[in-house]
Amino acid sequence: MIDTYLSPALALGLAILLAFFFRNWNVNAPLPPGPPTRFIGGNLHQLPKTHPWKKFTEWSKEYGPVYSLRIFRNRMIVLSSLKAVSDLLETRSAIYSDRPPSNMRGKLAGRATSAFMTSSQDPRFKPLRKMLHSGLNPRAAQTYRPVQLAETRVLLKNLAVNPDKFIAHMRRNAGALILKVAYGYQVETDDDKWVKMIEDAFALSAGISVPGRFYVQMFPFLKYVPKWFPGAGFKRKAEELMKTLRSVNQVPFDWAKAQMINGTNEESFVSMHLGPDAGKNLSADEEEIIVTSSAALYIGGADTTVSALTTFVLLMILYPEVQKRAQVEVDSVTSGRLPTLDDLAALPYITAMVKEIIRWAPVAPLGIPHSVTRDDTYNGFAIPKGSRVVGNIWAIAHDEELYPDPFTFNPERHLGETPQIDPFKFVFGFGRRVCPGAHLAELSLFLNVASILATFTITKALDANKREIEPPVDWTGVTVSHVKPFPCQFIPRSKDIMASLDGN
């Protein structure tokens, strides 16, 4: 008789416990609408494994520009309109600038204190942001122009000699610029050991922060599982990532500091902040902020620039008429010489192209998630404290109300008396978490795009029978999205420019 009543009692107790576990903490307003959830996993079964921004955009058309998802007990609020991200992540940035805790990337892989993941409540947050801004603001960027020009010339030479490896050349270009700026280190080859080190880190990091991919995100107690335990491959992956990223942080910094001590260093972000005594009077915490900030320059700047530049190459193949118009503009200004950043004001179509490249294919389609530090309400809906808040940059960039015919690459939408919304207002993040290197990235893209167009015509590759090969248009589905490799040709078009490259 006791057993007869015990089982229903246990079931009822479990149901009450689960109801408590998944309850809505803010009882004064309903949560934003969203796809139907399962009792335990919520929307976990519906999360796409690749290109989540596309599915998130589909849901926004059904549930509105602000909707909610649940992964077990974790609440995600997805913002899919420029107004929503402006109202919350910009206007209310005081409470929307935190980062959600990450058991996988943060605790297990040791990245909780990186520049991108540091909590806005951490005392280190403001010093980190201030230091990054000091090295990347428009005034500081002026001093990097000689490095940008030199590395662009190297890129053009490499494209002329071995165009088939254009993606590797572009990765070297981005890495060389940032390594020179951050550490005073000169990259000499495409297979440079430090460039390779960060490529390995990007490969290991790919997809590690995707919601629902690792159960340790939803069940924190799993972080205590021994790494030898069956199913604990996530711990081994996190350990490998920790070792790699620790090297990314420390190895270049230690090299730059040693150069300063030996008196052989070049001016850099690190040397500027360590000071003439190579940091002898700095505390361990102060030095760690310099280590973290300088690594952020490289990790944040290298991959995103490569993504945009390879997209540019693809677009020139797909839209040859845009390429021709851009070349006419460049030729009219430069007359057989390479463009410089002083030509920016005289090349409005190239500037519009750069804007359209990052709108058509945002480098970080979902950005990095924010977290809200207290209960909030928006348009009558509750946004509970601790919610993961995602700005769907891809959805905004393809919003038909902002950009008519959004899937067509059309630089002209950024020209004229009434240009459409400048995508640089949102593609590099929001509020206090906006990418501090956006200005430097914009200048680098402008210079490389204008210089490549002045030097080459980009066309489709030919097969063995001299037939054009249609490039596949496909993308990786991780935090920084890249167009997948495709064949193409870089055909030299300026004898004067090619001669000037050969002469250096």
- Residues annotated in the binding site for heme, as ranges? 435
Give yes or no for a contact between 268 and 180, defined as CB atoms under 8 angstroms apart.
yes
How many Cβ atoms are within 10 Å of 369's Cβ, its own excluded?
Answer: 20
Alpha-carbon distance 490 to 499, whole Å?
16
Helices (H), 380-476: 393-397, 438-455
The two tokens of residue 325 are 């118009």
Give yes or no for a contact between 121 and 373, defined as CB atoms under 8 angstroms apart.
yes
Q: Which of 391, 390, 393 has the alpha carbon at shortest distance from 424?
A: 393
Alpha-carbon distance 404 to 213, whole Å?
35
CA distances to 122, 124, 206, 248, 483 from 115, rounded to whole Å, are 11, 9, 18, 13, 26
Q: Which amino acid is at 306?
A: V
The annotated binding site is made up of 435
Alpha-carbon distance 289 to 348, whole Å?
39
Give yes or no for a contact between 308 and 364, defined as CB atoms under 8 angstroms apart.
no
Burial class (CB within 10 angstroms; exposed 0-12, middle 13-18, buried 19+) of 286: middle
